[in-house]
Structure 1
């Protein structure tokens, strides 16, 4: 027989790195990071820029941003655009601009984002606490996994910002809780200015403000058993470099002694901004928030009885760049974190876990097999799955109208990884799994954009079918095969010979599916 030549694989095509940028509009500064993303998802930061603004001071006091500061922000972003052009970054798809608490809390935030768009063409995305926690988790997870103690133990990830303090509790890679507190360095400075106190009373007022937050933190984080803390944020990074000097290399977690941190805090918190700048070599924008922030970190560490804490140099921009590297998609691990959070909420309301898990799995299989019809992405599959898990959560309040109570509970809860907007969509999908279809008179539904309303309708229609398939609550239908025959969807159920009860349920629940997808539904028993 003739010998075959060895098969050679085609040479790998290496595309040039993709230049991208992220801009973070914060309470006290607008920061930009420019990076390149390689084929393997590797991110290499090329440049960073920072310009001070005073958005937080006025937003936290008056809940409005002044015209002067809006124009200042627009001018900074115009300057940043010139830098972006130097790096060849001109496509808006390669630039992500986010705004945190200062813009988010301003009553005229739409005027701010519209003005920025008019001046620069950049779309500003105000992100809520849930999105900040998601991005933080994405950024910090690699460092936690690389450290044996943190990877296997219970860890509090803490960032004291200008407007709020974000807190994650993680154990063995699983998020146990995520919370946001109105404890921010700029908010505390505003309290001091309002009190018009002297240097002697400065620290007691700050401590009283922090203790109020500590009470809430204690409710969310038990100090029983081993607990570690990883601190992130610009202020704690400054303190770490002051304490460790050249011993801290970027990219690695640093360990600092809590007593040493407390001593440094004692020195800084009584100084004015000018003295801090001269003595410690920081900028005025950094000097302003350094004392209140370090006092918060040290009081939290001492509250939990910690002798040392870990400090990470990761930041919001690192997480945003990582998010761009993965195309904004949710990894399987992150999806599981959201599902675990949903299960925890369901158990608090004593939901029928076996039934809702089966409905969720049937929803997922319908979503996968109907992809050509709905054209939604993997994020929407997660929203559907969570809605299926929680669609009966309102029965603890009232059985007859439990779908309406489910909406209320879900949209007013916190599920790790889901923003307020995503929670509303989940709640509406659960609300429309039975009874009336979406109506123009439904306020929550009409508050969504047109695209979001279409998503809710598509997902709710699928959830109705999945719920009907487990109408007997026996879990006997687990596998399905969907086939389109003209204007009819045929759902084959292998291994189940009698589906008469499920057919009755489908007749009652399939009208929304027919209206949205233009297909009637036929359930066919297997052989």
Structure 2
């Protein structure tokens, strides 16, 4: 817990990246209490090695959580810190914007002048600040923590609750057998807890009771999200728990998954809560903001562990910056495993609305095949294939609300759902693709569509046009059309259906549903039975 920290080089195995020269990159995390930077080398063999980490205390959360506005002083303080970081990056030879990713979490995201903040940082440093939402934080956390979980087979027995108590929010993933069962963000953070006690004149026991009351409400919310049907493991992330592990475990190397007895954590928490901030700063070489927040953060972990009657807590050294570095190392692509987690989450949502799962899966698979075979026409990347697949799975969930306007209700339900791995922007895009699976073509006056930039409007139209073709191919809802072969012939798209001699029903549906594709891609569509010659 220091103001400026340089860590030893650390190697992290990740998915293989294309061979090439070593690439030096950096990630910067603008949080509620500090601005942190990690500099790393991405190796040709698919590993990254951390070269340096820097931390500077900047209390953005104190203002954002109080009045939802960042002061001019705080903005300039942040710009000053980032200017210094940029000078350090030049010393490491990092000068290209593509080699630096800057993200902001809860504090900046909740500030009403977040755009002014981002603009000022850009003017001062050239850095583009990305205020990532809870879904993106969950995705990045998943990428950082899963290698640790896979390295410990004993955690496969039961559910792992991965929790990080940050300055503004508590992030949670529920993982079982390598699969994410649930992800959620709670408005419980160490700095928020400190803010609840500001101006309160009360004895130490009374202040402690107030903290516990706030924390227990969130613990109950977490409990509601977890079925008590198997053993539970608690995996704690965050600097506060790493600090506790270093204090209590003499043999922890700081990299492996540590096993921390709950009883020991409780005693340390009691000691920290009994000390004032000045004493914590002096005894533990902490910054003042760290001294303020470490007690409430550790109390949150302790009460969560005690609620589930856990004798030990696993402490993981990974952090948001590790996940960001993993993301940069794979070029921002979604791995097959991560894609599967998104699809699992979409299927779970569909089942909540009693969707026709067989039809939805058939349409999704056909949409995927259309996407793959028409890459030369649509020019989209693999992320968009996932968005199309999810939209295809969920395009009829609005039927439970209203059959006549089910496409409009599908947009609403998807847009405001919690799908693991998809950001709010991506959920909107999926919702719009599902919204245009039938009836009207996109119009500027339609909800949300007209506010999209042109590139996203075109992307939504391309995906929705392909979705309509996939729906027509399964018009009988029998799943009899499984394989397709697409070719461009005489300025038209010909979809051949191998193995079927009669596709007359599907041809009728295709004539009714292919107009959007024709208008988007400039290609009429012909559906043809029989094998491709």
How would you bin the TM-score normalised by the shorter chain?
A: over 0.9
Query: 1:15 & 1:463 partners in 2: Cα distance?
Result: 38
Offset of residue 60 of structure 1? 0.6
Query: 1:497 & 1:195 partners in 2: Cα distance?
Result: 79
Query: 2:31 & 2:353 partners in 1: Cα distance?
Result: 37
Partner of 2:492: 488
Offset of residue 196 of structure 1? 4.1
- Do residues 18 (structure 1) and 43 (structure 2) align? no
Structure 1 residue matching 2:198: 3-state secondary structure: helix
285, 290, 300: which one aligns with 2:304 = 300
Offset of residue 450 of structure 1? 1.7
- Do residues 244 (structure 1) and 249 (structure 2) align? yes
Structure 2 residue matching 1:269: 3-state secondary structure: helix
- Do residues 50 (structure 1) and 50 (structure 2) align? no
- Do residues 361 (structure 1) and 359 (structure 2) align? no
Offset of residue 279 of structure 1? 2.3
Partner of 1:173: 178
Note the alpha carbon deviations across 1:349-405, whole angstroms, 9 max, x for none. 110000010000000000000001111000000000000000001111111111111
Offset of residue 151 of structure 1? 3.0
Partner of 2:328: 324
Structure 2 residue matching 1:306: 3-state secondary structure: coil
- Do residues 138 (structure 1) and 143 (structure 2) align? yes
Partner of 1:96: 101
Query: Given that residues 158 and 230 in structure 2 are in contact (C-alpha distance below 8 angstroms), is that contact kept between their aligned partners in structure 1?
Result: no
Structure 1 segment 23-34 matched on structure 2, within 5 A:
23-34=28-39
Query: 1:442 & 1:64 partners in 2: Cα distance?
Result: 32
Offset of residue 197 of structure 1? 3.5
Note the alpha carbon deviations across 1:275-333, whole angstroms, 9 max, x for none. 11222332323212100000000000001110001001110000100110111100001
Query: 1:196 & 1:517 partners in 2: Cα distance?
Result: 68
Structure 2 residue matching 1:498: 3-state secondary structure: coil
Query: 1:14 & 1:341 partners in 2: Cα distance?
Result: 33
- Do residues 84 (structure 1) and 84 (structure 2) align? no
Structure 1 segment 281-300 matched on structure 2, within 5 A:
281-300=285-304
Query: Given that residues 203 and 270 in structure 1 are in contact (C-alpha distance below 8 angstroms), is that contact kept between their aligned partners in structure 2?
Result: no
218, 230, 233: which one aligns with 1:228 = 233
30, 37, 55: which one aligns with 2:42 = 37
Query: 1:375 & 1:463 partners in 2: Cα distance?
Result: 16
69, 73, 78: which one aligns with 1:68 = 73
Query: 2:475 & 2:202 partners in 1: Cα distance?
Result: 66
188, 198, 206: which one aligns with 1:193 = 198
Query: 2:438 & 2:453 partners in 1: Cα distance?
Result: 22
Partner of 2:391: 387
Offset of residue 503 of structure 1? 1.2
Query: Given that residues 355 and 396 in structure 2 are in contact (C-alpha distance below 8 angstroms), is that contact kept between their aligned partners in structure 1?
Result: yes
Query: 1:29 & 1:498 partners in 2: Cα distance?
Result: 65
Query: 2:421 & 2:26 partners in 1: Cα distance?
Result: 23
* TM-score, structure 1 normalization: 0.96
Partner of 1:164: 169
Query: Given that residues 192 and 202 in structure 1 are in contact (C-alpha distance below 8 angstroms), is that contact kept between their aligned partners in structure 2?
Result: yes
Range with bigger deviation, 172-181 or 436-445:
436-445
Query: 1:270 & 1:518 partners in 2: Cα distance?
Result: 72
Note the alpha carbon deviations across 1:212-264, whole angstroms, 9 max, x for none. 1112111101334200011000001111111113x100220000100111111
Structure 1 segment 493-504 matched on structure 2, within 5 A:
493-504=497-508
Range with bigger deviation, 487-496 or 193-202:
193-202
Note the alpha carbon deviations across 1:143-180, whole angstroms, 9 max, x for none. 10111211343100000000000000000100010010
Partner of 2:207: 202
Cα distance change on mapping 1:14 and 1:460 into 2, 3 Å: closer
Structure 2 residue matching 1:195: 3-state secondary structure: coil
Query: Given that residues 202 and 270 in structure 1 are in contact (C-alpha distance below 8 angstroms), is that contact kept between their aligned partners in structure 2?
Result: no
Offset of residue 269 of structure 1? 1.3
410, 435, 438: which one aligns with 1:434 = 438
Offset of residue 198 of structure 1? 4.0
Cα distance change on mapping 1:196 and 1:423 into 2, 3 Å: farther
The gaps in structure 2 that reach 5 residues or longer are: 1-17
Query: Given that residues 461 and 516 in structure 1 are in contact (C-alpha distance below 8 angstroms), is that contact kept between their aligned partners in structure 2?
Result: yes
Offset of residue 200 of structure 1? 3.4
Query: 1:121 & 1:162 partners in 2: Cα distance?
Result: 27
Query: 2:289 & 2:258 partners in 1: Cα distance?
Result: 24
Offset of residue 201 of structure 1? 1.8
Query: 1:264 & 1:405 partners in 2: Cα distance?
Result: 51
Structure 2 residue matching 1:96: 3-state secondary structure: strand
Offset of residue 202 of structure 1? 1.3
- Do residues 407 (structure 1) and 411 (structure 2) align? yes
Query: Given that residues 223 and 304 in structure 1 are in contact (C-alpha distance below 8 angstroms), is that contact kept between their aligned partners in structure 2?
Result: no
CA-based RMSD of the aligned residues comes to 1.2
419, 423, 447: which one aligns with 1:419 = 423
